[in-house]
Each structure stands twice: as C-alpha cells, then as structure tokens.
C-alpha cells in the first residue's frame, strides 16, 4: 500500500509538470462527458416527471377517428358504452388548441366539467360562470393577466371574447398547466363553435386495472370508428418521444465522442520523446516494468476518473440547477410557451456505468499499452532515442 501511495504521489507530480497538455485533454474529456450526461439526466427526469403527471389521467380515453384523424365524438355513444361490464364513469370532455397571434404561442383550452389530472391552484378557483377562466403561469406572464385580471381571446367567429381570470395555477404544476386556459364546458363549446351533441373525447374510468385492455377491445368492437387509448399506451408514447429526441441529441454529440476516441487512439499510437526519456530514467534507477505500468495506470485513472466525475457534476448542475438551459428547448418540445419548472433529480445508474466504461477504460488502455512497449525496451536505447 505504501508503495502504491508513493507511486500515486509521483503520478500526480508528473501530471502537474505537463499541466497544459493534460489540462487540454481534461477539458475535452469533461466537455464530452458533460454533454452526454446532460442529455441522459434531462431525458430521465422528463420521463419521470411526465410519468408522475400521467398517473392522474383517465384509465381510458376514447376518441373518434375519421380518415385516420381525430374527430369529435357523438355524446350519444356514452349510452352504448355504459352497458359494457367493467366500466365505471364515462365523462364527455371538451378541449382544443388555440393559436394566439398576439404572442405567437399555442394555448390548450379545456372545459372544467371534464375529468382532468389534479390541478393545484395558487389562488382563486376554477371558472364557474361563462365569462370566467383559469390560466397557467405561462399564459398569465405572456398576456399580463394575473389573478383578478382579464384575458381576451378570439373565437371561431373571429370575435374577441373577454374572460375574467378567476384562478392562477401554481408554478409547481407548470409542466402540466403552463399553457393551459380552463373555461366552463359551455363557454368552450361556444368559443370553438362545436356542433350540439358532440364532445372532443370521453374519459372512461375502469375500477379494475386488469380489465382496461378488455374494456378497450369491447368499445372498439361496439364502435369501430373509435380509438380507445389506455393510460399505459399514453405513458409508453411519451417515453418513445423523449427517447427519440434524446437519441437525436446523442447523435449530434457523437461528433464529440468521435473526437475523444481519435484523441485516445493518437495517444495509444505512441508517447512523446519526453515521456520515453522519463521512462528510461526510471528504469535506469531501478524501477521495474510493473512499477512503470502502475505509474501510467494511475496517471490515466486520475485524468479519466477526475474528468468523468467533473463532467457528471457539470451535467448535474446544468440540468438540475440551471434547468438544462442549453438542451431543454429540444427535448421539451413545446412550441413557444416554455414552462419554467425545476426538474426533480433522477438518473439511471446503469447508463452512467456504461458511459464510464466506454470513456475511462479506453483512455487507461491508451495510456498503459504504449508505456508497456517502451518499458520493456533497454533503458539506454530509450534515453538515446
């Protein structure tokens, strides 16, 4: 142990003698690890946040399709679905998307009568009259319509409609409510001009979770033009979206990984004349080949492990302290109205281990292998060049 501690001490002093060269290597190493780890941290956290939020969605969402596209569904379908065993409640929902030309942002308008995920209010209440609305923090900030303020929207008849803001959603629910405007069902139907007797979709509760797929199949058989969507399918879809976007980002950063591999390969092809002379001197004064290999092993481990841990820490701070300001726009996927929320730290240890294995091991190998070739050579030949 004492021997290895002295070797480590010499390895540190040797690295410090070449601080500019090693500093450049570490900077490239840290940048590569930080970029990759940031994508992994952000993707994992968004998946965790989204999965938690989706636990509040209905067990089954029933939509009507026409030509492969989402269409309004007749409210009369509710009576036919009510006869299917295993179904609890069936609630028609009214919602839609609204493009605000003033702020160039898309809002989600939803009727307060349908079942939605639990919405925590900072102050105020959900709308109770046709001229009231509740808004998310993002909408309130863009339109300067805070609590007790007003919101003007242009309906399907190109007429401005004035709503009194009765409630403002908390910042903790920004991921869910940032672009949200809640109206009464009647106000929303009039605003979008929905025909009578039609709803956007149905929210269906199934008390026994093991019967969800069976109920969905029965609904599809009874109403062939419908598309039942289970909560599990919704969660899986969001996971696939985040995985696709993170894969796109990892592909972009693959250039940095390739550069790191080239650097490691260049280091593996040989060592500098100064390092060869140092190895020859160490051999001449009595160091064994195993001692020199241990020295270079510790040098490689110190650089690679320090760079890896620093890169992970930088990525952690970037994602969880600075809200992934450099990557969030790509992975979040919202149009203009980006929610300002704080991600809950969440990461996959297995992914970090894989990344550590693919970065630390090759670098150590690229340090030890050329050293072994030089260490087994006669010291006098090495020092003479």
Give the C-alpha distances (Å, rounded to integers) separating 87 from 82, 165, 171, 225.
Answer: 7, 36, 35, 19
148: pLDDT strictly greater than 50: yes
More confident residue, 98 or 342: 98
| CA trace torsion 108, 114, 117, 120 (10° rounding) | 80
Distance between CA atoms of residues 186 and 290, nearest Å: 82
pLDDT band at 333 (very low <50, low <70, confident <90, very high): low
Distances from the Cα of 89 to the Cαs of 17, 193, 202, in angstroms?
74, 26, 10
pLDDT in tens, 351-385: 788 888 877 887 887 777 777 766 666 555 555 55
pLDDT for residue 170: 72
Percent of the chain with pLDDT over 70: 78
Residue 55 pLDDT more than 80? no
pLDDT at 263: 65
CA 232 to chain centre: 19
Return the axis-axis angle of helices 254-268 and 349-375, rounded to nearest 10°: 20
Residue 211 confidence (pLDDT) above 50: yes
Under DSSP, the state recorded for 285 is: T
Higher pLDDT among residues 196 and 324, named by residue:
196
C-alpha distances out from residue 67 to 73, 224, 226, Å: 14, 13, 11
DSSP, collapsed to helix, strand or coil, labels residue 111 as strand
pLDDT of residue 193: 95
Rounded distance, CA 156 to CA 22, Å?
Answer: 64
**Given a cut of 70, is residue 136 above it in pLDDT?**
yes
Residue for token pair 């070797």: 7
Q: Model pTM? A: 0.68
Residue count of the chain: 385
CA 282 remoteness from chain centre: 50
Highest mean pLDDT among 63-72, 139-148, 331-340: 63-72
Q: Helices marked H in the chain — which ranges?
A: 2-17, 19-54, 77-82, 137-143, 174-177, 185-192, 212-222, 231-252, 254-268, 273-284, 289-320, 328-332, 349-375, 379-384
pLDDT band at 56 (very low <50, low <70, confident <90, very high): confident
State the Cα–Cα distance between residues 297 and 219, nearest whole angstrom.
65
> Could you tell me which residues come within 8 angstroms of residue 133 by beta carbon, excluding any fewer than 6 positions away?
127, 151, 163, 164, 165, 166, 181, 182, 183, 187
Is 113's pLDDT higher than 90?
A: no
pLDDT of residue 385: 53
Q: How far apart are CA 164 and CA 10, in angstroms?
A: 73
Q: What is the mean pLDDT of the chain?
A: 80
CA angle 364, 366, 367 (to 5 degrees): 65
Average pLDDT (112-117) is 58
Three-state helix/strand/coil letters over 161-179: EEEEEEEEECHHHHHHHCC
pLDDT at 116: 46
**Is residue 47 within 8 Å of residue 239, measured between CB atoms?**
yes
3-state class (DSSP) for residue 325 = coil
Q: What are the residues facing 69 on neighbouring strands?
A: 66
Q: How do residues 279-314 score in pLDDT, each as one tens digit?
A: 777 777 777 878 888 888 888 899 889 999 999 999
The model's confidence at residue 320, banded by pLDDT at 50, 70 and 90, is confident
Tokens at 301, concatenated: 């481990």
Confidence of residue 115 (pLDDT cuts 50, 70, 90): very low
Question: What mean pLDDT is predicted for residues 222-229?
Answer: 94
**Distance of alpha carbon 216 from alpha carbon 193, whole angstroms:** 30
- The answer to whether the beta carbons of residues 352 and 40 sit under 8 Å apart is yes
Q: What are the residue ranges spanned by the domains of the chain?
A: 2-53+240-384, 59-230
Is residue 234 pLDDT above 50, yes or no?
yes
């Amino acid at each position: 142990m004492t021997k290895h501690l002295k070797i480590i001490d010499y390895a540190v002093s040797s690295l410090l003698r070449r601080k500019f060269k090693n500093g450049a290597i570490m900077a490239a190493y840290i940048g590569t690890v930080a970029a990759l780890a940031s994508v992994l941290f952000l993707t994992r956290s968004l998946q965790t946040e989204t999965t938690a939020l989706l636990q509040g969605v209905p067990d089954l969402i029933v939509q009507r399709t026409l030509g492969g596209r989402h269409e309004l569904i007749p409210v009369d379908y509710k009576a036919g679905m009510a006869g299917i065993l295993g179904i609890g409640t069936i609630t028609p929902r009214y919602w839609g998307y609204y493009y605000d030309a003033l702020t160039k942002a898309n809002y989600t308008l939803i009727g307060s009568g349908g079942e939605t995920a639990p919405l925590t209010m900072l102050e105020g209440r959900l709308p109770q009259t046709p001229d009231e609305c509740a808004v998310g923090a993002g909408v309130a900030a863009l339109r300067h319509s805070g609590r007790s303020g007003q919101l003007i929207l242009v309906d399907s008849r190109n007429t401005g409609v004035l709503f009194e803001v009765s409630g403002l959603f908390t910042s903790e629910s920004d991921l869910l409510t940032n672009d949200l405007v809640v109206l009464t069902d009647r106000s929303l139907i009039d605003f979008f001009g929905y025909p009578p007797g039609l709803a956007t979709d149905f929210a269906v509760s199934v008390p026994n979770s093991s019967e969800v797929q069976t109920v969905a199949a029965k609904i599809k058989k009874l109403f062939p033009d419908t598309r039942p969507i289970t909560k599990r399918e919704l969660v899986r879809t969001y996971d696939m979206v985040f995985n696709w976007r993170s894969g796109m980002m990892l592909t972009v950063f693959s250039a940095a990984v390739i550069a790191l591999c080239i650097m490691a390969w260049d280091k593996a092809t040989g060592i500098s004349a100064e390092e060869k002379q140092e190895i020859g001197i160490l051999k001449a004064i009595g160091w064994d080949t195993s001692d020199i290999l241990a020295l270079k092993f510790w040098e490689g481990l110190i650089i690679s492990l320090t760079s890896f841990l620093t890169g992970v820490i930088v990525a952690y701070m970037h994602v969880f302290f600075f809200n992934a300001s450099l990557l969030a726009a790509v992975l979040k996927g919202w149009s203009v109205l980006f929610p300002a929320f704080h991600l809950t730290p969440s990461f996959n240890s297995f992914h970090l281990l894989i990344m550590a294995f693919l970065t630390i091991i090759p670098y150590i190998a690229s340090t030890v292998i050329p050293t072994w070739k030089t260490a087994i050579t006669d010291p006098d030949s090495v020092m003479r060049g």
